[in-house]
Chain A
Amino acid sequence: MRMKLLTHNLLRSRVKGAAKGYPLAIHATTVETKEADFNPTFIVRMLDRIQWPVVVQAASQVGVSEDKVPQTVPNDPESDQEFLKAAHHLLLEIEVIEGELECPDTGRAFPIKRGIPNMLLNEDEV
């Protein structure tokens, strides 16, 4: 229950002046790996909502070795167990505990403290 790469994949910076505010760069100081229940149906459903290239980028930012990271989504992910297991691991089993997220457009840093990203903005940033 700390920030997973699935959550990171969805998060946007809504700071004033950010055109897209996506993807947020991860600067992690503490990352943990924790086993989670494998639910292939859920993974397949989430593939429609996430940006795979951002998963690849995030995995590299948190120090996952490249051979564990499928570079693209196969044409038929439902029937590709190997891909689904790799995706499951990347999206749900890697947790960022401490660090920060950086808005690509403005450089605004959002701290991650004990696994919870702080996306609050100041009055003058909205």
Chain B
Amino acid sequence: MFAIYHKRKRRTGNNSRDMRLKELEGYLQQVRSFEEPKVLLEQYPTSAHIAAHLLYTMDSTYGDVEDKVVCDFGVGGGILSIGAIMLGAGMCIGCDIDDDALEIARANADEFEIDNLELLRVDVGTRHAGHLPPLPIGSVDTVIMNPPFGTKKNAGIDMNFLEQASRICTGAIYSLNKTSTRAFIQRKCRSFGLEMEVVAELRYDIPQMYKFHKKKSVDVEVDFLRFTPTADDS
């Protein structure tokens, strides 16, 4: 399947303009996810359907993917990073605290013959306020993340992700967060010098992955948020 993507890329010299949404989703369906998700890290995978829509919007509506340096916080199996590269990101830096997730991301990138995804083992959910990620301020154009929602004894971790992102990103930060926390995030992001826009509201279907999930799957209402530096801060 992916061989086709590469041929197209070589022929046109540009893999973004021709890449249709359905096509992207088709490729992303082949990205493997966690084999044994870890409860404490809230490793809910992003579905190919959601990933494709988010990335497509980021690229076609906002121009935040093609030729950009994109950083993926909580890269997991790498679906968002791989999709961003398919849409023409110049380079993607995938960060995760979990070695097993990074191994899967690397295997996926190898499978798709992607060579511009760089992986780093980093704690972007650090509780230490004022701590910086190991990348320079202003070194990336776009951050994409599907952070833990902070419901497993790790309340606030999604805001730690956002704060860390705000320190290294010059452009837009995209994030999936529970709709129920929208008003809080709207206020909180100002302290990071960001303003927020709700790009889409979606239902995130979390399949039964852990023993404590009693239902087959749970629909969670999730916002797809776009943060940009506040005007007077930039």
Q: In the assembled complex, which residues on chain B have CB atoms less than 8 Å from the CB atom of A126? A: 126, 128, 131
Is A19 among interface residues, defined by CB-CB distance under 8 A?
Answer: no
Q: Would you call A1 and B120 a contact (CB within 8 A)?
A: no
Is B193 among interface residues, defined by CB-CB distance under 8 A?
Answer: no
Interface size class of B (residues with CB under 8 A): 20 to 34
A side interface size, CB within 8 A: 29
Q: Would you call B134 and A13 a contact (CB within 8 A)?
A: yes
**B228 vs chain A, min Cβ distance (A):** 20
Closest to B10 in A: A37
Partner of A14, one of B110, B120, B131: B131
Q: Would you call A114 and B132 a contact (CB within 8 A)?
A: no
Q: Would you call A45 and B90 a contact (CB within 8 A)?
A: yes
Chain A interface helix/strand/loop/mixed: loop
Residue among B93, B106, B136, B138 with the highest chain A CB neighbour number at 10 A: B136
| Complexed CA–CA distance, A30 and B149 (Å) | 38
Q: Would you call B135 and A11 a contact (CB within 8 A)?
A: yes
Residue among B69, B121, B131, B134 with the highest chain A CB neighbour number at 10 A: B134
| Complexed CA–CA distance, A12 and B120 (Å) | 12
Is A116 among interface residues, defined by CB-CB distance under 8 A?
Answer: yes
Partner of B136, one of A6, A10, A121: A10
Q: Would you call A116 and B120 a contact (CB within 8 A)?
A: yes
Q: Would you call B67 and A1 a contact (CB within 8 A)?
A: no
Q: In the assembled complex, which residues on chain B have CB atoms less than 8 Å from the CB atom of A117? A: 120-121
Q: In the assembled complex, which residues on chain A have CB atoms less than 8 Å from the CB atom of B120? A: 7, 11, 116-117, 119
Is B118 among interface residues, defined by CB-CB distance under 8 A?
Answer: yes
Partner of A119, one of B110, B122, B136: B122
With A10-B139, A11-B135, A14-B133: A1-B122 Cβ-Cβ less than 8 Å: no
Q: In the assembled complex, which residues on chain B have CB atoms less than 8 Å from the CB atom of A64? A: none
| Complexed CA–CA distance, A4 and B126 (Å) | 25
| Complexed CA–CA distance, A49 and B126 (Å) | 25
Q: In the assembled complex, which residues on chain B have CB atoms less than 8 Å from the CB atom of A42? A: 67, 90-91
**B14 vs chain A, min Cβ distance (A):** 11
Q: Would you call A115 and B119 a contact (CB within 8 A)?
A: yes
Per the 8 Å Cβ criterion, residues 10-55 of A in contact with B are 10-14, 34, 36-37, 39, 41-42, 45-46, 49
Closest to A22 in B: B136
| Complexed CA–CA distance, A41 and B135 (Å) | 22
Closest to B118 in A: A7
Q: Would you call A12 and B131 a contact (CB within 8 A)?
A: no
Per the 8 Å Cβ criterion, residues 89-126 of A in contact with B are 92, 114-121, 126
Q: Would you call B97 and A39 a contact (CB within 8 A)?
A: no
With A41-B67, A45-B67, A116-B102 already in contact, 7 other A-B pairs whose C-beta atoms are closer than 8 Å: A11-B134, A12-B136, A39-B90, A92-B115, A114-B106, A118-B121, A119-B121
Mark A residues whose CB is within 8 Å of B: 1, 3-4, 6-7, 10-14, 34, 36-37, 39, 41-42, 45-46, 49, 92, 114-121, 126
By Cβ-Cβ distance, the 4 closest A-B pairs, closest first, are: A118-B121, A42-B90, A119-B134, A7-B118
